[in-house]
């Protein structure tokens, strides 16, 4: 997900199909069923539920442990979205919810793999915005189960992972000889990033460097509107999934809108401060402090560069505002297609949905800029 409360424009529902051209396909009308958004009143879940409510009024459900918040969200949509209280750790609650679900969109990190398994066993499609590699690996292991029950689970849905995966695929399609992907992400510190996103950033800072490949270093990258910035390697799941699916080297790096904050945070990481925080189990106070820090912009930049051994390179860059809103837009588009179109059964990452360009084109109206360049 990584790093929403405003809805996207009320566009006409389009039920085009996204598929890989291989694997079993399934036509799904969603007749008599609903799309359920777990955490449907949070920063990402609220954006997702509002957009789906525009497309599917009365058939979109905002669900979560706090029914009061769910009802507040539902009322704000003029009853286009319905509210349900549900505890995803309670199997009876989950069974009851799945009785009416065609698609479940998971917008929190809480018993994700168990919920995904419950959905897939009942033939219910599943979308997860988690950016945590451990969560993604658990759900990937359910591929055979999903195929057996002719259901689809889609992972890497959001900005990073998500847009990063789509742009990487687009770059490699333009440069088939590419053997390296470098992803650079700038995140603004303003706005509401959502509690799970902040916890994920803290986890990335406090864990040991075991995830980092030998020789992976920071880099200097020119980012539109921000000049040349220093970006630092960070444990985004996209670099693993892109590297494994394309059999290339992929590295994801990050910086924040404030160069000073970026320098201080990664300077502290270099001297082992955050590793000590992890050992002392002090992540919660750090997460709380960062959650209250809203100084800065809500802008973001995603820059992806593919290069080959001959020095040829292409790049794609998107800029926008409010990562939670864009994550909600991506999740809503994927859920819409699961609800209305034919998709391959199994567990897929967003860049495995064919073709990727239509999704990028639909998101173009919600992004500030989209730019594709060829470089020497």
pLDDT tens-digit series, residues 214-247: 567 889 999 998 999 999 998 888 998 998 888 8
d(CA 322, CA 191): 7
- Range list of H helices, the chain: 43-55, 67-76, 91-98, 112-121, 133-140, 143-148, 164-174, 195-206, 238-246, 259-270, 273-279, 283-291, 323-340, 357-364
**Which pLDDT does position 282 carry in this prediction?**
67
89 Cβ partners below 8 Å, 6+ apart? Answer: 110, 111, 114
| Higher local confidence (pLDDT), 27 or 360 | 360
Q: What is the pLDDT of residue 334?
A: 95
Distance of CA 60 to CAs 44, 80, 179, Å? 15, 7, 42
Render pLDDT for 236-277 as a digit per residue (tens, 0 to 9). Answer: 889 989 988 888 999 999 999 888 888 888 888 777 777 776
Rg value, the chain, Cα: 20
- What global pTM score does this model have? 0.84
Q: Quick one: pLDDT at residue 341?
A: 83
pLDDT surpassing 90 at residue 186 = yes
Q: Angle at which helices 133-140 and 112-121 pack, to 10 degrees? A: 20
Average confidence score pLDDT of the chain:
84
- Cβ atoms within 10 Å of 68's Cβ, excluding its own: 10
Confidence grade of residue 193 (pLDDT, cut at 50, 70, 90): low
Write the DSSP symbol of residue 367.
Answer: S
Residues 254, 218: Cα–Cα separation, whole Å: 9
Summarised one tens digit per residue, pLDDT across range 136-177 is 999 999 999 999 999 999 999 999 999 999 999 999 999 999
**Per-residue pLDDT tens over the stretch 288-347:** 666 666 666 789 999 999 999 999 999 999 999 999 999 999 999 999 999 998 789 999
pLDDT band at 213; cut points 50, 70, 90: low
Flag whether pLDDT at 133 surpasses 70.
yes
Higher-scoring residue by pLDDT: 374, 350: 350
pLDDT at 52 over 70: yes
What is residue 125's predicted lDDT score, i.e. its pLDDT?
97
Q: Residue 53 and residue 182: Cα distance in Å, rounded?
A: 36
- Considering the chain, what percentage of its residues have pLDDT values greater than 90? 57
pLDDT at residue 217 in the model: 87
Given this model, what pLDDT does residue 354 score? 67
CA 16 – CA 336 distance, rounded (Å): 10
pLDDT for position 130 = 92
Examine the pLDDT at 372 and tell me if it is beyond 90. Answer: no
Query: Within 13 A of 71's CA, how many CA atoms are on the CB side?
Result: 4
Residue 286 has pLDDT above 80, yes or no: no
């Amino acid at each position: 997900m990584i790093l929403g409360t405003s809805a996207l424009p009320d566009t006409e529902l389009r039920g085009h199909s996204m598929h890989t051209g291989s694997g079993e396909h399934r036509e799904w009308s969603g007749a008599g069923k609903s799309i359920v958004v777990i955490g449907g009143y949070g920063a990402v879940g609220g954006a997702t539920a509002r957009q789906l409510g525009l497309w599917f009024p009365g058939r979109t459900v905002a669900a979560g442990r706090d029914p009061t918040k769910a009802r507040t969200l539902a009322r704000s949509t003029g009853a286009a979205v319905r509210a349900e209280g549900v505890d995803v750790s309670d199997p009876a609650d989950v069974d009851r919810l799945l009785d009416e679900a065609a698609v479940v969109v998971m917008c929190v990190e809480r018993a994700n793999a168990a919920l995904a398994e419950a959905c897939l066993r009942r033939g219910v499609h599943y979308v997860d915005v988690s950016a945590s590699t451990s969560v993604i690996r658990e759900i990937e292991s359910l591929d055979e189960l999903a195929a057996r029950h002719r259901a689809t689970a889609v992972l890497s849905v959001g900005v990073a992972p998500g847009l990063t995966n789509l742009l990487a695929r687009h770059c490699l399609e333009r440069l088939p000889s590419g053997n390296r992907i470098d992803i650079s992400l700038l995140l603004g510190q303003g706005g509401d990033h959502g509690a799970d996103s902040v916890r994920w950033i803290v986890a990335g800072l406090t864990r040991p460097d075991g995830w980092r490949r030998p020789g992976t270093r920071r880099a200097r990258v020119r980012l539109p509107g921000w000049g040349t910035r220093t970006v630092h390697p960070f444990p985004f799941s996209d670099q693993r999934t892109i590297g494994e699916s394309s059999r290339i080297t992929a590295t994801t790096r990050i910086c924040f809108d404030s160069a000073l904050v970026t320098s201080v945070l990664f300077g502290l990481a270099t001297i082992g401060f955050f590793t000590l925080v992890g050992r002392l189990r002090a992540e919660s106070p750090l997460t709380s402090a960062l959650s209250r820090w809203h100084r800065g912009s809500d802008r973001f930049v995603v820059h992806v560069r593919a290069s080959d051994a001959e020095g040829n390179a292409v790049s794609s860059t998107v800029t926008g505002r409010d990562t939670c809103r864009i994550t909600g837009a991506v999740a809503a588009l994927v859920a819409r297609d699961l609800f209305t179109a034919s998709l391959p059964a199994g567990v897929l990452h967003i860049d495995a949905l064919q073709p990727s360009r239509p999704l990028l084109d639909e998101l173009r109206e919600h992004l500030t800029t989209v730019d594709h360049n060829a470089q020497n």
